[in-house]
Structure 1
Amino acid sequence: MVKLKKNKKLKILLLPGAFHSPSARFRIWQFVEPLKASGYEVVTRVPIPDRNYKGRKLFSNKWEKIPIKIKSIIRLISSMWMLRDLRRFDYVIANRDIVPDVKIKFLEKIVILSGVKFIFDFDDAIHLGAREKKLSEFLPACYYITPGNAYLAEYAQKLNNNVKIIPTVVNTEKYKPISFRKPGKLRIGWSGSSSTNIYCLPILKNVIETLSFKHDFEFIIISDKDPKINWIGVQSKFLLWRPETEITNLQHLDIGLMPLNDSPFERGKCGLKAIQYMALGKPALVSPVGVNAEIVTHGVDGFHCYNEADWIKYIETLILNPDLLIDMGKNARIKIESKYSVDYAMNIWKSILL
C-alpha cells in the first residue's frame, strides 16, 4: 500500500458533476471519506444546477420551470466559481467534462493552466460523437486519465501516456449479503434507469415470458420510472429506485440480470449493476459485452448470455439448482471483495496521488 509523504497533507478538489447520478456516486462521492481517512484534505464542489438535474424526478426540482438557456448560464457561472482558488490544491479530479456542453471548452483549460495536477475520470463512452473534439483538446495535457475499463483506456492512451484503469467499485461495508432470505417466490431482477430500460428490457421480454410458462417466480424491476410492462403470463413487480432503498431492494433479489446490446457505446459501460448484484451475493447473468465478460466468470459467479436461448438456459439452470445459485452467489461476493471494492480502487488512487 502506498503511503503519503510525512508532514505533507495533499489537497484534492473533487468535481463529481452531480449529486445523485451513478457516475458521480460510484466514481467520486464514495471516495470522499476514504481519501480523508488516508490523510488527504478533500473539498468537493458541484455546479448548480448539477449535471443530472433532468433525471432527478425523485427529488424536488425547482429547475424544471426555468428556461434552458438561463439554466445553462447559471451552471456555467457556478462552474467558474468552483475553480476560483485552484492554486490552493495539489490535484483536481473531475468526473467527465466540467460542463457537459461541447461548446464550452475553456474550463478544463483553466484548470490545466493553473498548474494544478488535473485528473480526468470517466466511465462511459463519452468520446463517441460530438464530445470527441472537446476531449481531444485537453486530455493530452492531463496529469492522469482514469477510465473505468480497458475499452475506454484504449481511447485514452491515444491521447495521453498516463492512464490507469480504475474499475467502478462498491463499498463492501455497505453492500453486504443478507443472512436470511425474504419469504416468497424466487425473485429474478433487473435494475436500471428509465433512460436504459427501453433498450434493455426488450432483450428480456421473450426470455421472461417463456420461463414464466414453466416456472413460478417474480420478475422485479427496479427503476426511477415504472416501464409498465405487460408481458404475457409474467408476475412482475415494480420497485421505485431511491437512494435509501437501493441496497435493500437489491438484497432481496435471488438472481440479477444485466442485458446489453453490443454496440460501441455499451462496450464503454463499467458493469455497475453486475457488480452490485455480485457484492450482495447474487449470481449475475450478463450480456458479455465489454467489461461484463471480465467481471463475471462464466459458470463460476454468473453466466454469459449471448442470445435468448442462453438467457433461458442459464436462468432455468439456477431456478432448478438452488444449491448452485447459493454457491455462485458466494463466489460472486469473493470476486467483488478482491477486485471491485473501494479498498481495491483506493490503492490505485494512492499510487496516483503522491
Structure 2
Amino acid sequence: MIPQRNSFWDENAYAPWTPQWMGKELVFCLVERRLPKRLLVRKKIRPGWYYALKIKNALSSKRKVGFGPVVEGEYNIGVRGSRIDPIVDCINRKSENYSADIFFDFGEMARFDLIVIVKEFHPGVYPLLEQLKVQGKRFVYDIVDNPFCTDPRSVSYHDHPEFLRMMDGVISSSPVQSEDVRPINPNVVLIEHPIINFECSTYPQKATVDILWQGYMANVEAMFRLHTILEKVRQESGRDVRMIYHSNCPTRTDGMIHYIKWKIRDWQKILASADIGIVIKPPDNEVQRRKPSNKVLSYMAAGLPVVCTPTEADKLIMEHGKTGFFAYTDEEWYRYLKGLIEDPELRKAMGMRGREYVWERFTIEKITAKYLNLFDHV
C-alpha cells in the first residue's frame, strides 16, 4: 500500500509558538475564520481571576500545585467547571500547605512542585515527565471521564499503562476506573465530583410533569427507548408529561419531546425547574460504564428524584427506593416513572432525601479535602 502524504491542512506539526507554528495558525485562522484553540481558551479566562492566581502563586511559600492542561473555555461545566476551577479555588481558600494554579500547556509544568494532569495526556509528553520526575516533581493523574477528550492528541489511560506507572498517584471517578488502574498503579483513590449547581427545586404545583435529561447529544441515543414508555404513562395517567432534552442542540418541540439549547447562564434554573431527572448509561458499553456520577449528582443536588440505569459510580451516591430508582428493563422504567409522575409527594420526598444526602457528602470543600489528603501522601 502506498503511504498517504499528510495534507497541509491536517494539522500544525510545528513546535507551538515558533514562527512556523504561528504562521501556519494564522493561515488556518484566515481560512476557517477561527482563533487558534489555545488562544480561544485563554480568551475565555476571567483576567482578574487568572492573574490573581499567578500573583498569589508567585508570592506564596506554600507547595505549588498545578492543574491542567486546560483545553476548555471557562463557560461550560466540563472538566473546567466541574473539576479544575472549583478545586483550585477551594485549595487557595482553605489549605495551609498548598497553593494552586492552572496551566494550559505541558511545557508550563516545571514551575510546580506537584502536578495534577487532568484527563488529557498523550505519549509525546513522556520525556518531559521523566525529566521533571528526576528533578523531584510529583505527579497525580485525575482520570475524570477519559477517554472523552477535547485535544485530538489525547489518548485513553486504558491503553497506556506506561503512563499510569509514571504517576505517583491516580484519582479515579468510578470503581471501574479504580479496578482498571490498581493492578498497574496501586496508589489509586476514588474521589467523586463536587456539587457545582446550587439552585434547588421548590416543588411547585404546575400543569406539566417535566422529565429532564441533561448532557451532550452524542450520548442521547440510549434515551430514545423511553419515548414509547412515557407516551404510555402520559395516556394512562392523564398527566401532561414532557420529555426535555437540555443539550447542545437547537430549541424545538416535537409533541411531548422538547429540546432546549443548553446555555451556561440558565442550566441550573432549567435543572431545578424539572420534576424528575433521568439517565441511561448502558452497562454493556465499556466507556459508559466507567463514567463518573456527576449527572446523577447534579440531579440530586437540585432536589430531583432520579431514575437511571446506573454505573457503579452512580450506585455509590444513590440509594434505590430512597433517593430514586435503578431501572434496567422497560417494565422497570414504566413502573418507576409512572409512580413518580402520578405522585408529586413521592417526588418531593425522594428529591429532598437525595439533596440532603449529597449536600452532606459532596460539597466542594469535602471533595477538596480528599485531594489535599492525597497530596499529603504522594
CA contact (8 A) 1:125 1:264 kept: no
Deviation of the 1:249 alpha carbon: 1.0
Q: Deviations over 1:204-249 (max 9, x none)?
A: 222222223223222211001149685xxx4222221112211111
Q: State which drifts further: 331-340 or 16-25.
A: 16-25
CA distance in 2, matches of 1:111, 1:203: 50
Deviation of the 1:317 alpha carbon: 0.5
Residue 82, structure 1, aligned to residue 138, structure 2: no
Give the corresponding residue for 2:170. Answer: 145
Deviation of the 1:303 alpha carbon: 0.3
How many pairs does the alignment contain?
Answer: 304
Cα distance 1:210–1:229, how it changes in 2: closer, same or farther (>3 A)? farther
Deviation of the 1:98 alpha carbon: 3.2
Q: Which amino acid aligns with 2:289?
A: R
Structure 1 segments, 4+ long, off by >6 Å, are none
Cα distance 1:293–1:168, how it changes in 2: closer, same or farther (>3 A)? same
CA contact (8 A) 2:300 2:358 kept: yes
Deviation of the 1:126 alpha carbon: 3.2
CA contact (8 A) 2:146 2:157 kept: no
Give the corresponding residue for 1:56. Answer: none
CA distance in 2, matches of 1:9, 1:103: 30
CA distance in 2, matches of 1:130, 1:168: 22
Cα distance 1:235–1:190, how it changes in 2: closer, same or farther (>3 A)? same
Give the corresponding residue for 2:248. Answer: 224
Give the corresponding residue for 2:268. Answer: 247
SS of residue in 1 equivalent to 2:274: coil
Give the corresponding residue for 1:123. Answer: 144
Q: Which amino acid aligns with 1:12?
A: V
Look at both structures and tell me which one has the larger radius of gyration over its CA atoms. 2
Deviation of the 1:266 alpha carbon: 1.3
Q: State which drifts further: 161-170 or 21-30.
A: 21-30
Q: Deviations over 1:52-103 (max 9, x none)?
A: xxxxxxxxxxxxxxxxxxxxxxxxxxx34433xx1x422111112335xx66
Q: Which amino acid aligns with 1:240?
A: K
Q: Which amino acid aligns with 1:44?
A: I
CA contact (8 A) 1:191 1:221 kept: yes
Give the corresponding residue for 2:226. Answer: 204
Deviation of the 1:179 alpha carbon: 3.5
Give the corresponding residue for 1:306. Answer: 328
Residue 10, structure 1, aligned to residue 83, structure 2: no
Q: Which amino acid aligns with 2:339?
A: T
Deviation of the 1:188 alpha carbon: 1.1
Q: Which amino acid aligns with 1:273?
A: K
SS of residue in 1 equivalent to 2:336: helix
CA distance in 2, matches of 1:122, 1:344: 19
Q: Deviations over 1:281-337 (max 9, x none)?
A: 111111033222232211100000011111111011011221111110111101211
Unaligned runs of 5+ in 2: 1-59, 149-153
TM value normalised by structure 1: 0.78
% identity of equivalent residues: 20
CA contact (8 A) 1:16 1:29 kept: no
The equivalences for 1:83-98 within 5 A come to 83=109, 86=110, 88-98=111-121
Q: Higher relative CO (CA 8 A, sep ≥ 6), structure 1 or 2?
A: 1
Deviation of the 1:130 alpha carbon: 6.6
Residue 161, structure 1, aligned to residue 196, structure 2: no
CA distance in 2, matches of 1:9, 1:137: 31
Cα distance 1:182–1:27, how it changes in 2: closer, same or farther (>3 A)? farther
Give the corresponding residue for 2:53. Answer: none
CA distance in 2, matches of 1:21, 1:247: 11
Residue in structure 1 matching 2:94, options 38, 43, 68: 38
Residue 339, structure 1, aligned to residue 361, structure 2: yes
CA distance in 2, matches of 1:176, 1:325: 17
CA distance in 1, matches of 2:251, 2:202: 31
SS of residue in 2 equivalent to 1:208: helix
CA distance in 2, matches of 1:205, 1:114: 57
Give the corresponding residue for 2:78. Answer: 22
